[in-house]
Structure 1
Amino acid sequence: MSLARLAAILNFSKAHLSRIETAESAPPRGLSEKLDAVFGTEGLFIGLYPLARAQEFPDKYRRFMEASAAAALHESYTVTVPGLLQTPAFAEAILRSGDPFATDDEITDRLTARLSRQGRLHGIAPARYWFILDEVALHRPVGGPPTMRDQLSALLTLGDLRQVTIQVLPYSAGEHSEMGGSLTLLTLPSRSVVAYEEGSRSGTLIDDPDEVTTRRALYDLLRAQALSPKDSAVMISSALEGFDHAS
């Protein structure tokens, strides 16, 4: 069957199907079921879909994503709301601002991949998550006031989960070691720990024990400087009220 014919049957963009065929774009949810129906392949594409999903991230991030999926404990510091806590509207605004030249199809692929990771927060036996957010994450109006209201409300809800701890690092803490980017520590089931440092355009996975120990010490300092989870929730609520009064 020609690509043009298949696109017509699926009511799908031919250009997007072409990118999926050549592995330039990840297949969106629901496409595998439609392909099985068109070709009568009785679940073949549904079975292949998890394998395709595993290849959604560029090579330079893949080791981090694999470690993240296996980790029993996630600890992170970020200057914005991290992907695992983002609402769909907030995530889309972040993705579009990060690559303003991306097509709508590309943004849709990336958004689907990002949101799919959030299922880890709600599994039967979820990992433990410790998030430290810079205070700026509460005030920068990503996506506009309505999007921020929903995002801050989501943070309060997620912070009530027993497996999630959220702290805010306030402006009053002053300068600190991670002002130039983000830091994530992943504790694997083997109890070994890897670190991941990320800037706006690059990321580095660190598994050297001495280097990881240094990052652990830096993260512990950030945790000591941050507000308690209870006081952090109060600050998030205050920021939410500010957006309630925004136009």
Structure 2
Amino acid sequence: MTFEARELTPDRSVRDLFGAELRRHRERAEMSLRRLSEVVNYSKSQLARIEAAESLPYDDLPTKLDVCFGTGELFARLHTLAKKEPFPGKYRRVISEIESRAAVIEEYACATVPGLLQTRELAEESFRFGNPYAPDAEVEDLVQARMDRQALLERPKPPRCWFILDEAVLRRPVGKRKVMYQQLAYLIKTGMKPHVTVQVLPFAAGGHAEAGGSLMLYTLPHQPLTAYEEGSHSGTIIENQNDVATRRQNYDLLRAMALSPRDSEAMIRVAMEDWTPCEPPLT
């Protein structure tokens, strides 16, 4: 299969700049990806993803590239900056690609229902809260894109999905009571699928390392585990395996602290009672 170089924007992202410099020096040296893979002892596919800014290299590669191309500490310094860079919005495409290929998806949500579990109504309310001045057509496009993501849960061979929801997700109103009631009912329905597990982390569990943000772990066939952390306005992809291992431990601890799937369903049903739509007054 022929590798098609992706257009990069080195003026907007350090990750893109790293990929652009790698491509520029490789082509200047008249070196193919296959030949470079032999020199630095990396697979051709790994180098292709790094050059396309779809993956960040392990810590040993930048030094190997500097030695190979005689670039001093160029790649080492770019790598240091890239690791600190928040995951830019335009890289949400990469997250979508990772998600679509994942065999296992694990997510902790601290503030709102994960996108893969949202109803159309809650998705619309969420997008309108995020940008109250957005045109209706723009909001509808965003909602439809989120609904399209959920198709992976209905595939013949869907990924194994594990969702841990902070109790705040059940208690914080998003839209009208009816929206919340239907959303919690949908959580229960989706949690009954054999490949989906939903757990609730109760307030009583106390503090933990991932408080204040959301964490996603993606297991892809024949690839290292990838972690993604997201706050209210930015996200960060984590590929350094030491840092990923820390997130793995954090998630496993959250799973141990959370209620069992059965007790979680019971808590969701109790929360639903608080969101029962009010009957209109008799006239």
Q: TM-score, normalised by structure 2?
A: 0.65
1:138 corresponding residue in structure 2: 170
| Kept in 1: contact 2:107–2:214 (CA 8 A) | yes
State the percentage of identical aligned residues: 49
Question: Within 2, Cα distance between the matches of 1:210 and 1:83?
Answer: 27
Query: Residue 69 of structure 1 corresponds to which residue in structure 2?
Result: 100
Paired with 2:180 and 2:267, the residues of 1 have a C-alpha distance of 14
Could you report, residue by residue, the CA deviation over 1:33-68 in whole angstroms, capped at 9, with x for unpaired residues? xxxxxxxxxxxxxxxxxxxxxxxx942312211111
Whichever residue aligns with residue 103 of structure 2, its letter is A
Partner of 2:90: 59
Alignment CA distance shift 1:234-1:99 (3 Å): same
Mapping for residues 14-163 of structure 1, pairs under 5 Å: 58-79=89-110, 80-163=112-195
Residues 181 and 277 in structure 2, CA contact (< 8 A), matched pair in contact too: no
Relative to the length of structure 1, the TM-score reads 0.75
- Flag structure 2 segments of 5+ consecutive residues without an equivalent: 1-87
Number of the residue aligned with 2:262 = 230
- Is residue 2:211 matched to residue 1:179? yes
**Residues in 2 aligned to 1:205 and 1:78: alpha-carbon distance in whole angstroms:** 16
Q: CA deviation at 1:138?
A: 0.6
Cα RMSD after superposing both structures: 1.4
CA-CA distance at 1:244 after TM superposition: 1.5
Tell me the number of residue pairs that the alignment of Structure 1 and Structure 2 aligns. Answer: 191
Q: How far, CA to CA, are the matches of 1:137 and 1:246 in structure 2?
A: 21
Match of 1:244? 276
Q: Which residue of 1 aligns with 2:248?
A: 216
Counterpart-to-counterpart distance in 2, 1:113 and 1:230: 31
CA contact (8 A) 1:138 1:152 kept: yes
Hey, what's the Cα distance between the residues in 1 that align with 2:239 and 2:94? 11
Alpha-carbon distance in 1 for matches of 2:219, 2:266: 29
Alpha-carbon shift at residue 96 of structure 1 (Å): 0.6
Please state whether the residue corresponding to 2:180 is helix, strand or coil: helix
Runs of 4 or more, structure 1, over 6 Å off, are none
Q: What displacement does 1:104 show?
A: 1.0
Displacement after TM superposition at 1:245 (Å): 6.3
Contact 1:182 1:197 in 2 (8 A): yes
Q: Gaps spanning 5+ residues in structure 1: where? A: 1-56
Q: Does 1:188 align with 2:220?
A: yes
| Conservation of the 8 A alpha-carbon contact between 2:105 and 2:159 | yes
Displacement of 1:246 in angstroms is 5.0
Partner-residue secondary structure (3-state), 2:150: helix
* Residue identity opposite 1:143 in structure 2: G
Residue 191 of structure 1 and its aligned partner are, at CA, apart by 4.8
In structure 2, what is the equivalent of residue 42 of structure 1?
A: none
Distance in 2 of aligned mates of 1:67 and 1:182: 17
The DSSP-based 3-state class of the residue aligned with 1:189 is coil
Q: Which deviates more, 188-197 or 198-207?
A: 188-197
Q: Cα 1:173–1:246, aligned 2, differ >3 Å: closer, same or farther? A: farther
